[in-house]
């Protein structure tokens, strides 16, 4: 079963505690010989993957006397720092870009034989935010009969693919908003100059003024832009009257200029309907 993305702070504190008290909590390779499954997991991870000793900590949850009794009767955790290059991640808002860019994989082996295994991923706040939030990435299941040397590379590859995907989406967002701003000219009210995920324009048609809000989702252009029209005259229950546009022509394969041109034509043709609906729904 796949594991969740957990609190990075919790994992990092545990990582620091392990390092600080290494003589008491770090399981040496020689001691892992008391449990053949764990010895194999550790040795194969070192020999068959790009993970090295500095990337891994092993923690025994129990503090019973005797290393062997702890290995055989307690859960054993492998905390692994994943080698991911996060330099291509999109920027985040000021105040959210501090700290390390790190991904930690915690894999727990349960007694008595370590056959029950649960993985959990911990992302630093900067990485989690840039990837779209805590629910944006899900660990693959840890298949029965698999080992760390099989599983860790799969997680690394999927995370790298996600970073590349978010980087590509960021560039497409920037290109799309640039095309829209160029099309609308001085009608621009504001736009997100960091993540390029939002923009607003004050538009006019036959003396009817309205605001066009554009939101680009995390997985743009796979996911289509969100267009919302807002009347500057009418309100409903104390809030500005708005209408979301969904049925407009769109293909993620189009160039940004074509996306913008087709949506612009659709919005232009819809203005009269929006004006009539706003008047009928919210008379001044």
Judge if 141 and 211 occupy the same domain.
no
Residue 143 covered by a domain: yes
3-state SS of 109-161 is: EECCCCCEEEEEEEECHHHHHHCCCCCCCCCCCCCCCCCHHHHHHHHHHHHHH
Residue 131 has a pLDDT of 84
**pLDDT tens for the chain, residues 1 to 284:** 455 555 555 454 445 444 433 443 344 455 555 567 788 888 888 888 888 888 888 877 654 545 444 444 578 889 999 999 998 888 876 555 566 788 999 999 887 666 788 999 999 888 888 887 767 788 898 988 888 999 999 999 999 999 999 999 999 999 999 999 999 888 999 999 988 999 999 999 888 899 999 999 988 999 999 999 998 887 777 788 899 998 899 999 999 999 999 999 999 999 999 988 888 876 65
Judge if 159 and 225 occupy the same domain.
no
Residue 25 has a pLDDT of 38
Alpha carbons 11 and 147: distance in angstroms, whole number: 22
Q: Is omega for the bond preceding 84 within 30 degrees of 0, making it cis?
A: no
Judge if 238 and 161 occupy the same domain.
no
Residue 183 covered by a domain: no
Judge if 163 and 243 occupy the same domain.
no
For residue 42, what are its two tokens?
Answer: 């550790």
- Name residue 80's beta-bridge partners: 56, 105
CB-count exposure of residue 54 (10 Å: 0-12, 13-18, 19+)? exposed
Residue 239 has a pLDDT of 84
Residue 184 covered by a domain: no
Judge if 25 and 156 occupy the same domain.
yes
Domain that holds residue 11: 5-167
DSSP single-letter state for residue 221: T
Residue 213 has a pLDDT of 97
Query: How many domains in the chain?
Result: 2
Residue 152 has a pLDDT of 94
Residue 185 covered by a domain: no
Residue 205 has a pLDDT of 87
> What does pTM read for this prediction?
0.76
Place of tokens 């939101």: 215
Q: How many residues are present in the chain?
A: 284
Place of tokens 């989702």: 217
Which of 167, 187, 219 delimits the end of a domain? 167
Buried residues in 222-239 as b, exposed as e (16+ CB within 10 A): eebbebebbbeebeeeee
Judge if 22 and 117 occupy the same domain.
yes
Judge if 148 and 224 occupy the same domain.
no
Judge if 211 and 156 occupy the same domain.
no
Judge if 219 and 158 occupy the same domain.
no
Judge if 161 and 218 occupy the same domain.
no
Pairing of strands 116-123, 5-6: parallel
Judge if 103 and 12 occupy the same domain.
yes
């Amino acid at each position: 079963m796949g594991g969740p993305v957990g609190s990075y702070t919790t994992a990092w504190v545990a990582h620091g505690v392990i390092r600080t008290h290494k003589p008491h909590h770090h399981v040496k390779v020689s001691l892992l010989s008391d449990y053949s499954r764990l010895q194999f997991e550790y040795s194969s991870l070192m020999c068959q993957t790009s993970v090295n000793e500095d990337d891994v900590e092993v923690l025994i949850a129990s503090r019973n006397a005797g290393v062997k009794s702890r290995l055989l009767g307690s859960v054993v955790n492998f905390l692994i720092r994943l080698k991911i290059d996060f330099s291509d991640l999109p920027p985040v808002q000021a105040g959210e870009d501090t700290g390390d860019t790190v991904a930690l994989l915690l894999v727990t082996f349960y007694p008595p034989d370590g056959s029950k295994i649960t993985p959990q991923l911990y992302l630093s706040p900067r990485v989690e935010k840039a990837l779209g939030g805590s629910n944006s990435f899900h660990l693959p299941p840890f298949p029965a009969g698999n080992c760390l040397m099989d599983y860790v590379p799969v997680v690394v590859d999927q995370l790298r693919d996600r970073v590349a995907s978010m980087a590509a989406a960021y560039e497409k967002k920037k290109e799309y908003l640039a095309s829209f701003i160029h099309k609308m000219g001085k009608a621009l009210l504001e736009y997100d100059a960091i993540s390029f995920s939002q923009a607003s324009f004050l538009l006019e048609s036959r003396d009817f003024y309205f605001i066009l809000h554009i939101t680009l989702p995390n997985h743009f252009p796979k996911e289509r832009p969100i267009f919302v029209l807002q009347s500057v005259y009418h309100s409903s229950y104390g809030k500005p009257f708005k209408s979301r546009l969904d049925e407009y022509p769109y293909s993620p394969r189009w160039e940004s200029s074509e996306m913008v041109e087709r949506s612009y034509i659709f919005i232009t043709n819809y203005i009269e309907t929006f004006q009539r609906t706003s008047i009928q729904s919210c008379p001044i």
